[in-house]
Amino acid sequence: MIGIVGYGGYIPRFRIKVEEIASVWNADAKAIKSGLNIEEKSVPSMDEDTATIAVEAALNALKMAEIDPKEIGAIYVGSESHPYAVKPTATIVGEAIGCGAEFTAADTEFACKAGTAGIQMVMGLIEGGYIKFGLAIGSDTAQSKPGDALEYTASAGGAAFILGKNNVIGEIEGTFSFSSDTPDFWRRDGIEYPSHGGRFTGIPAYFKHVVSATQGLMKKLGLKSSDFDHVVFHMPNGKFPINAAKMLGFDLEKLKAGFVVSKIGNTYSASSLLGLAAILDVAKPGQRILITSYGSGAGSDAFSIKVTDLVEEKRKKTKKIQDYIDDKEYVTYAHYTRLRRGI
Amino acid sequence: MGHESSVPLFWRLIKPRYQLIGTKCTSCGNVFYPPKFLCPVCRKEGKLEEIKLRKTGKILTFSIIRSAPAGFEKETPYPVAIIELDDGPKLTSQIVDYKEEDLKIGRRVEACFRRIYTDGKEGIINYGLKFRPA
Ligand SMILES: [Zn+2]
């Protein structure tokens, strides 16, 4: 069965606290913190972007997979902040991790679910017998308009998954998607910052898609909420995934292992994938994981993953997500403004 | 357009720069980075082959750049170090993700993938390796 041969994450070291951002805009930090259930978010360094973050995550995944990178037949990088408008991020990753030249590559875009879309594409290529291993990455350095509500959450991070058929640490039991044309969040070409539909992002957008994809997956696989040991939903803030879990009847304890949002913010394309990586860092063999992504505009991809015995040995080879969360340095808003401009 | 002239050079250096690939002389065993294609010791007797260097080493010496060359002004002040790789070669690199106490001779460092410089708003983004405390 197709599964995860290796995975890895990366989170930039800088953090900014909600209080620090709120003080600049004379906003009520306490209300924002409890409203969003967020304490701080990651901030990329001046010389970091979606490509550099994707490379670091991919190198970590490769360390765990212990395969020859030249055996990777496909690379997909999902992001809403690719460094070039025209020129793929995926080939930069391929060159940096030593994949040679005999692989197919493309960048995917679908707001925050571009990474999970890449996983599905890799699954198809492996199942069809076209490639042996494939690499799917979700990576972002999310931008937000200064003073906008998104400024408290839009952050940076990446997660990479190498899929294959042998020596897997988690078998992918199935996937199910739910998509519709819902204008909850967008950015027109050439415009610096995204726009969003405010409250409209909740019920008809995030919840409808996350719940429908998850229910569809469970129906397809004949599983119920109690069959899962860990669950992770896309984390645009610290509230939405909790409400989604309640709507779907999941015990909230099951969210805990993958709930990275309070400490790093919304890493967009990496959000649910970093949550999955954090779960795989602690999951026990035999446990079942549910991951459902969400991308504005709108769609969700849900996956069921059964953890194998190999997880305990293989995950020792790579830095854990918690290590990245703990390794941090706080910046002031002035420093943050300087970092955001990049080089 | 100024940025076009540097594109071929940039492209030739991608592989050694992204992956830390050097060359090793098969007769004397010397390792070179950036890659050399003629061994200065063995001359024509030596045969050089590509080698993927380990991305770890230590700081030999460093200095803080306060007045930077064009393209690097936004980053000042930043440390630049001469690093001795565990495989032998020495190279000069920016140190990133450091705390003040990390800037000392002998500090272990590892390579990470970063933007080196960008050619204005329209040119190529030059990526490559920098070093961070290990
Ligand atoms: Zn020689």
> Per-domain residue ranges for chain B?
1-19+55-134, 21-53
For residue A280, the domain's CATH number is 3.40.47.10
Q: Does A173 touch chain B (CB under 8 A)?
A: no
Q: How many helices (H) does chain B have, and how many strands (E)?
A: 2, 8
Confidence of residue B1 (pLDDT cuts 50, 70, 90): very low
Q: Are residues A49 and A117 in the same domain?
A: yes
CB-hemisphere CA count at 13 Å for A203? 1
Q: How far is the CA of B89 from the centre of ligand 1 (A)?
A: 14
pLDDT band for position A188 (cuts 50, 70, 90)? confident
Instruction: Tell me the helices (H) and strands (E) count for chain A, helix number first.
Output: 12, 14
Query: Is A301 part of the contact surface with chain B (CB cutoff 8 Å)?
Result: no
Per-residue DSSP letter, A130: S
What is the ipTM, given to two decimal places?
A: 0.93
Question: How far apart (Å, rounded) are the C-alpha atoms in residues A324 and A319?
Answer: 8
Mean pLDDT of A300-318: 98
**Is the minimum CB–CB distance between B45 and chain A shorter than 8 Å?**
no
Q: Are residues A25 and A145 in the same domain?
A: yes
Phi, psi for A290 (deg, rounded to 5): -110, 130
Q: Which residue segment(s) compose the domain that A263 sits in?
A: 172-309
Q: Which residues of A184-200 are buried (b: 16+ CB within 10 A; e: fewer)?
A: bbebeeeeeebebeeee
Cβ distance A121 to A74 under 8 Å? yes
Which sign, positive or negative, has the C-alpha torsion A340, B1, B6, B8?
positive
Mean pLDDT, chain B, integer:
90
Positive or negative CA dihedral for B109, B115, B119, B121? Answer: negative
Would you call B118 and A343 a contact, using CB atoms and an 8 Å cutoff? yes
Q: Do A52 and B115 touch (CB under 8 A)?
A: yes
Of B14, B19, B115, the CB nearest to A47: B115
- State the distance from the centre of ligand 1 to the C-alpha of B54, rounded, in angstroms: 20
Asked whether residue A152 falls in the same domain as residue A192, the answer is no
Report the pLDDT averaged over residues A92-99: 97
What average pLDDT score do residues B111-132 get? 91
Distance (Å) from CA B94 to ligand 1 centroid = 29
User: Which tokens go with A202?
Assistant: 């909740």
**Measured between CB atoms, does B118 come within 8 Å of chain A?**
yes
Q: What is the pLDDT at residue A110? A: 93
Q: Residue A48 and residue B115: Cβ atoms within 8 Å?
A: yes
In percent, how much of chain A has pLDDT > 70? 99
Do A148 and A214 share a domain, yes or no?
A: no
Buried b (16+ CB within 10 A) or exposed e, B7-30: eeebeeeeebbbbbbbbbbeeeeb
CA distance B120 to chain A (A): 9
Instruction: Say yes or no for a CB contact (<8 Å) between A96 and B18.
Output: yes
Amino acid at A112: C
Nearest beta carbon to residue A45 from set B72, B96, B117 = B96
For the record, the structure tokens of A262 come out as 């309070």
Distance from CA of B108 to the nearest CA of A (A): 17
Q: Which long-range contacts (CB under 8 A, 24 or more apart) does B80-87 make?
A: B81/B109, B81/B131, B83/B57, B83/B58, B83/B59, B83/B109, B83/B131, B84/B57, B84/B58, B84/B60, B85/B20, B85/B33, B85/B53, B85/B54, B85/B56, B85/B57, B86/B54, B86/B56, B86/B57, B87/B22, B87/B31, B87/B51, B87/B53, B87/B54
Q: pTM, whole model, 2 decimals?
A: 0.95
Write out chain A residues lying below 8 Å of B119, CB-based: none
Burial of A295 from C-beta contacts in 10 A (0-12 / 13-18 / 19+): buried
Q: Are residues A323 and A302 in the same domain?
A: no
Encode pLDDT of A122-141 as tens digits: 999 999 999 999 999 999 99
Residues A166, A169, A172, CA angle at the centre, nearest 5°? 80
The set of catalytic residues of A is 80, 112, 234
Instruction: Find the mean pLDDT for residues A145-152.
Output: 92
Q: What is the percent of chain A where pLDDT is above 90?
A: 89
* Contact criterion met (CB below 8 Å) for B90 and B83: yes
A7-to-A75, A230, A243, B128 alpha-carbon distances in Å? 14, 17, 28, 23
Radius of gyration of chain A (CA): 18
Residues A227 and A216 occupy one common structural domain: yes
Distance from CA of A157 to the nearest CA of B (A): 14
Q: What pLDDT sits at residue B84?
A: 97
- Could you tell me the sign of the dihedral formed by the alpha carbons of B63, A12, B111, B55, in that order? positive
Please give the DSSP secondary-structure letter assigned to residue B53. -
- CA–centroid distance, residue B128 to ligand 1 (Å): 27
A95 touching B (Cβ < 8 Å): yes
Q: What is the mean pLDDT of residues A98-127?
A: 97
Residue B97: which of A13, A84, A338 has the nearest Cβ? A13
- pLDDT band of residue B6 (cuts 50, 70, 90) is low
Determine the distance separating the centroid of ligand 1 and the alpha carbon of B34, expressed in angstroms.
Answer: 15
Cα separations (Å) of A207 from A26, A78, A107, A200, A213? 31, 22, 26, 11, 10
Cβ pair B117:A329 closer than 8 A: no
Domains held by chain A: number: 2
Measured CA distances, A91 to A61, A170, B14, B19 (Å): 17, 27, 12, 14
The mean pLDDT value for A230-242 works out to 97
pLDDT reported for residue B2? 45
DSSP state of A155: -
pLDDT value for A105: 98
- How many angstroms separate the CA atoms of A328 and A11, rounded? 9
- pLDDT value at residue B119: 81
CATH code of domain B1-19+55-134:
2.40.50.840
Q: What are A31-71's pLDDT values in tens digits? A: 999 999 999 999 999 999 999 999 999 999 999 999 999 99
- CB of B121 within 8 Å of a chain A CB? The answer is no
Distance of CA A31 from the midpoint of ligand 1 (Å): 67
